[in-house]
A and B are shown apart, each in its own frame.
Chain A
């Protein structure tokens, strides 16, 4: 190898390294290319959290669930829902259609979050949770309908 080739090879290696790091960063960031795809996962997570809360309350009403375990469940699901709200809010959009579906998704996860926080707080304070359960049911329907639309768009 001649001395003059060496800088070119070093440059080529650096370029490859930069390209590799860029690709890795893009993959790690989870860029999927469309807003509908980026919104689906958090919405599915919101649906899972709301469904778990609903199941927890149903078991509590049947006397099958301890109040300690139910309290921990609603706390965990509230944490999950707040993460979901943040991740939906961070989704960037490039068209009016995408902005519309992002806002609709945000409204659905916000409603789920409100219901989840209400469920957590009423159990922690040992208050009647009838309203919270009704809110969870409503939020579940809302999340499911937006999820249906997102799936149609993909």
Chain B
């Protein structure tokens, strides 16, 4: 019974923790401009993150070492340093986007300007990272994030023409007001939103934090292979609500306040309140994960003592890195930069940096000497190589598409 409860908790946490501000913004923008015609990218991204997280969790459980320790070992210090700089900067951008997301959710609930909420959100993130146990912060934010299911409930309450949505998704309906480059730019953004590198740093470091062994791998597989696809359904419902309510009105999304309009239209004030709680929890959970990931990447690369399982005094540089990351994120937000635009850039740059972390993990997961019985099987190996090709194409195409589409204008 205890094992079953642990499994259920892990799956629910994976569902609730799947979406972050990147998924919320990108899916609603895409739904309001392209309907469901980019749903295939969400499906592709979910399959990709399942493969990536499953491989990195397996590597962490077998070796007892997290992603960045392995990257340094495999690539050598010089190549790994370039990898570290890119990953750290993108992580910082994501921390900034997530803290901005918390502040925007609080603004929507209170009508107090989000800039006043930014320092409050940052202090709350720091306090939780500093004081709260790893398992509690992971489970509570994941479970509260389940409130994002409000988007799926709203979709049912809106009584959409399901065939029309299916038609948009399957037949790739064209949208004459949108350019092909914009379509493909948002395809890359959606892919980046689903396969954010910090998720893997957090997942593999979390495996070390929680002391996973080979016997824990089945539960890890269930969390990933059941939890992430169900989380992907929440992402699809975000796009679908925007496609049903906002697309026919030509109300393309530029702000979070527009993204929640379909929820209010479908379920009224109560569902809106539940969904705002979900947005708050999802962004807060992701802010914790990205802040921890900043500490993990730097500490693992430099060989510092790291981890929430140690007292802060025993991992002082790890905690100092996280404090500096939060302060930098706050400083960027207080310049008045639009958090939604920061989010859009963070998901695109995530797609650009993805090969840097994916390739070393793939190499190790394919190495029988390192992995023993847990080496990639034939099917996983084939999928992993196909995704490597997709990830490289997305990374190479991202900057040209950003320029040609005017960053999705």
Q: Which residues of A contact B (CB under 8 A)?
A: 24, 27-28, 30, 41, 44-45, 47-49, 51-52, 54-56, 59, 63-69, 71-73, 76-77, 80
User: Given A28-B403, A68-B110, A76-B255, do A44 and B250 touch, yes or no (CB 8 Å)?
Assistant: yes
Known: A30-B406, A47-B250. 11 other contacts (CB 8 A): A27-B403, A27-B404, A48-B250, A55-B245, A55-B249, A55-B265, A64-B268, A68-B110, A69-B264, A72-B257, A73-B257
State in angstroms the CA–CA spacing of A24 and B251 once bound together: 31
Interchain CB contact under 8 A, B269 and A65: yes
Interchain CB contact under 8 A, B177 and A69: no
Q: Which of B67-120 contact A (CB under 8 A)?
A: 107-111
The 30 sampled A-B contact pairs (Cβ below 8 Å) are A24-B403, A27-B403, A41-B406, A41-B409, A45-B254, A51-B249, A51-B251, A52-B257, A52-B258, A55-B245, A55-B261, A56-B261, A63-B268, A64-B265, A64-B268, A65-B264, A65-B269, A65-B272, A68-B109, A68-B110, A68-B111, A69-B272, A71-B111, A72-B107, A73-B255, A73-B261, A76-B255, A77-B255, A80-B254, A80-B255
Q: Is B330 close to A, CB under 8 A? A: no
Q: Is B260 close to A, CB under 8 A? A: yes
Pick the 9 closest A-B CB pairs, nearest first: A68-B111, A76-B255, A73-B257, A51-B251, A64-B268, A51-B249, A30-B406, A71-B111, A48-B252
State in angstroms the CA–CA spacing of A28 and B407 once bound together: 9
Q: Say how far B201's CB is from chain A's closest CB, in angstroms.
A: 31
Q: Which residues of B contact A (CB under 8 A)?
A: 107-111, 177, 245-246, 249-252, 254-255, 257-258, 260-261, 264-265, 268-269, 272-273, 276, 403-404, 406, 409
Residues from chain A with a CB closer than 8 A to the CB of B269 are 63-66
User: Given A51-B249, A66-B269, A66-B272, do A59 and B264 touch, yes or no (CB 8 Å)?
Assistant: yes
Interchain CB contact under 8 A, B265 and A68: no
Among residues of B, the one whose C-beta sits closest to the C-beta of A80 is B254
State in angstroms the CA–CA spacing of A80 and B254 once bound together: 8
Residues from chain B with a CB closer than 8 A to the CB of A67 are 111
State in angstroms the CA–CA spacing of A54 and B250 once bound together: 12
Residues from chain A with a CB closer than 8 A to the CB of B246 are 52, 55
State in angstroms the CA–CA spacing of A76 and B340 once bound together: 11
Residues from chain B with a CB closer than 8 A to the CB of A69 are 108-109, 111, 257, 260, 264, 272, 276
Q: Say how far B170's CB is from chain A's closest CB, in angstroms.
A: 26
Number of A-B contacts (CB under 8 A): 83
**B-side binding surface: helix, strand, loop or mixed?**
helix
Q: Say how far A44's CB is from chain B's closest CB, in angstroms.
A: 7
State in angstroms the CA–CA spacing of A66 and B276 once bound together: 12
State in angstroms the CA–CA spacing of A148 and B254 once bound together: 22
Interchain CB contact under 8 A, B251 and A76: no
Residues from chain B with a CB closer than 8 A to the CB of A52 are 246, 249, 251, 257-258, 261
State in angstroms the CA–CA spacing of A80 and B192 once bound together: 26
- Select the residue from A47, A55, A69, A80 with max chain B CB neighbours within 10 A: A69
Among residues of A, the one whose C-beta sits closest to the C-beta of B249 is A51
State in angstroms the CA–CA spacing of A21 and B261 once bound together: 42
Residues from chain B with a CB closer than 8 A to the CB of A64 are 264-265, 268-269, 272
Residues from chain A with a CB closer than 8 A to the CB of B265 are 55, 59, 64
Among residues of A, the one whose C-beta sits closest to the C-beta of B255 is A76
Residues from chain B with a CB closer than 8 A to the CB of A47 are 250
Residues from chain B with a CB closer than 8 A to the CB of A77 are 255
Residues from chain A with a CB closer than 8 A to the CB of B110 are 68
Q: Say how far B253's CB is from chain A's closest CB, in angstroms.
A: 8
Q: Say how far B47's CB is from chain A's closest CB, in angstroms.
A: 32
State in angstroms the CA–CA spacing of A76 and B114 once bound together: 11
Interchain CB contact under 8 A, B258 and A76: yes
Interchain CB contact under 8 A, B272 and A73: no
Q: Say how far B400's CB is from chain A's closest CB, in angstroms.
A: 9
Q: Say how far A38's CB is from chain B's closest CB, in angstroms.
A: 11
Residues from chain B with a CB closer than 8 A to the CB of A71 are 111
Interchain CB contact under 8 A, A76 and B272: no
State in angstroms the CA–CA spacing of A27 and B402 once bound together: 10
Among residues of A, the one whose C-beta sits closest to the C-beta of B257 is A73
Residues from chain A with a CB closer than 8 A to the CB of B272 are 64-66, 69
Among residues of A, the one whose C-beta sits closest to the C-beta of B273 is A66
Q: Say how far A39's CB is from chain B's closest CB, in angstroms.
A: 13
Residues from chain A with a CB closer than 8 A to the CB of B261 are 52, 55-56, 59, 65, 73
Among residues of B, the one whose C-beta sits closest to the C-beta of A42 is B409
Among residues of A, the one whose C-beta sits closest to the C-beta of B409 is A41
State in angstroms the CA–CA spacing of A49 and B255 once bound together: 10
State in angstroms the CA–CA spacing of A77 and B268 once bound together: 21
Residues from chain B with a CB closer than 8 A to the CB of A51 are 249-251
Q: Which one of B108, B252, B403, B409 lies within 8 Å of A68 (CB-CB)? A: B108
Among residues of B, the one whose C-beta sits closest to the C-beta of A123 is B111
Residues from chain A with a CB closer than 8 A to the CB of B255 are 73, 76-77, 80
Residues from chain A with a CB closer than 8 A to the CB of B251 are 48, 51-52, 55
State in angstroms the CA–CA spacing of A28 and B107 once bound together: 33
Q: Say how far A76's CB is from chain B's closest CB, in angstroms.
A: 4
